[in-house]
Amino acid sequence: MTVSRSQADVQGRQRIEDMGLDAAGVAGSRAPDPVSEGTERAAAQAPPAEGVAPRGRPAKATAAFVGGIVALVAGVIGAFGLLGIVPVVLGLLARRELAREPARDGRRQAKLGIVFGAVAIAAGAAWTVVTIVTA
């Protein structure tokens, strides 16, 4: 049986890889395979399997926190206190989501979004009352 030079090269490379050696015959210093590296990277970015808790904060918690700050500033400087409804709703939705997935972070952000939103609503209401009374 005759083996071509390219087939022998492929078979030799395969044996070297099977032994865990690089092309120079040194153990453990193998260059990363771009194909398997891409697969590992894709697996790291894939959604978690069933039964595995996702990591990080829910986007609703972050949106509630940022929206609460914006609504608080808007409620203090003007009659835009009704903007506080958005972070309150988002914070409540985030807390419900976090109750189902206790391993995730974001409870503090959701709570602060609710608090800032409520304060913004109160500040907007107070601003409206003061404007009507003084008019």
Digit-coded pLDDT (tens) for 38-79: 555 554 555 555 655 566 788 899 899 999 988 888 877 776
Residue 98 has a pLDDT of 92
Contact 88, 115 (CB under 8 A): no
Structural domain spans, the chain:
5-44, 59-134
3-class SS of residue 46:
coil
Specify burial of residue 69 (Cβ count, 10 A radius: 0-12, 13-18, 19+).
middle
Structural tokens at position 26: 């040194």
State pTM to two decimals: 0.57
Residue 57 has a pLDDT of 80
- Of 5 and 106, the structure prediction assigns the larger pLDDT to 106
- What sign does the CA torsion over 20, 26, 27, 28 have? negative
